[in-house]
Amino acid sequence: MFDGSMRMSFHTLNCPSHLVGNINKHRSLYRTWLNPVLAAQPSSTLPQTDDSSNLLESKRSSVSVSAPTSSQTSGPLLNQANTVGIIGGASTVSTLTFLEKLIFWSAKNGEENLPFVVCSDPALNKELSSCERSAVPYRHTKTALSQLDYTTVVENLRHKRAFLEHSGARCIVLPCHISHTWHEEISEGCSVPFLHVGECVASELKEANLKPIEAGGNLRIGVLATYATLKAGFYQEKLQSQGFEVVLPDKATMEHIVIPAVEALNRKDIEGARNLLRIALQVLLVRAVNTVILASDDMCGLLPWGDPLLKKCIDPMDALARSTIKWAQSYGKTHVDT
């Protein structure tokens, strides 16, 4: 268990809000939201370790807020060679959850400090949430993901990326599933590495040297996510490029289990959503998948810690956090700013 504080500075540099800080291996964010279902539950890739549950017992952090100075507004906010830029996800909660994962895995990997800049925009959060809702094939609409115009969303995300580059970020991460639909467009022309969550997951699974359940068969990886994320197809593409066979929920599972689970969650019927999620996981597991990628923040927070089904699941944001730390450790040691 570890405790401590994080220094934060809030400014108004062209973006609605952003956060600057350093992660210390003895420090941790404290979860301040009230819904326990959305609490972070970091998991290792394979196998899952009980040590991860220590994050749930993290003590309260101390926060200091400071006004921007002229030097902070005229140049990079941070000059460290391993500064990470983080574009906020579809909600403030998901962004804070990713920060907790960075803190937890930093401590596990022995990283002393990880400087970062976070750009969180409530307006963008609403746009991203709207993208997921409008792309879901509910019974009363036939709108397809490919028919929707996301130009403003992509431009907004590109603006956030440029802001983070200007702020001193030497690596950029996007802890948001739906935003990775446009990762190629957002990262185009980026002057620093821009990690892709799908590549991070596929790389870790490759390194894990998983064994097929059936001798002589291909490794089968299930992906459980919202319709919008599955429709985008980037998890399938990245996994298949590493030689994995990808198994998705069939139409009946999506219509009668996954979508109703999301609807139950929106009604705050946590138990109903949890039971439906368990059924959806079992449907994939009986199809001989080795493990299931839970590519949804809501789904990752539904099952209680210690649930046997979690041992068969991966939270992609854990893989993204670990890859970010790995980059920071390798890049920070070989590049020193003057």
Residue 284 maps to which CATH number?
3.40.50.1860
Question: Does a structural domain hold residue 76?
Answer: no
* pLDDT value for 324: 94
Q: Is residue 277 part of a domain?
A: yes
What per-residue confidence (pLDDT) applies to 112? 64
Nearest in space to 226 (alpha carbons), one of 245, 243, 248, 206: 248
What is the residue-level pLDDT of the chain in tens, covering all 338 positions?
333 333 333 333 344 455 555 554 444 443 433 333 333 444 444 434 344 444 434 433 333 334 444 444 566 777 788 899 999 988 888 899 999 999 888 887 666 668 899 998 888 888 887 777 655 554 443 344 444 568 889 999 999 999 999 999 999 999 999 999 999 999 999 999 999 999 999 999 999 887 766 655 678 999 999 888 999 999 999 999 999 999 999 999 999 999 999 889 889 999 999 999 999 999 999 998 989 999 998 888 899 988 999 999 999 999 999 999 999 888 755 555 44
Which residues span the domain enclosing 111? Answer: 84-138+146-333
| Tokens found for residue 154 | 């992509």
pLDDT at 22: 55
Predicted pLDDT at 279: 97
Q: What is the DSSP annotation of 61-121?
A: P-EE--PPPHHHHHS-S---TT-EEEE--SSHHHHHHHHHHHHHHHHHTT-SEEEEEEE--
Inside any domain, residue 79: no
In this prediction, residue 169 carries a pLDDT of 93
Instruction: Identify whether 20 is part of a domain.
Output: no
In a domain, 245, yes or no: yes
Asked if residue 15 is part of any domain, the answer here is no
Let me know if residue 266 belongs to a domain.
yes
Domain count, the chain: 1
DSSP string, 261-280: HHHHHHTT-HHHHHHHHHHH
pTM here is 0.78
Position 77 scores a pLDDT of 74
**Does residue 202 lie in a domain region?**
yes
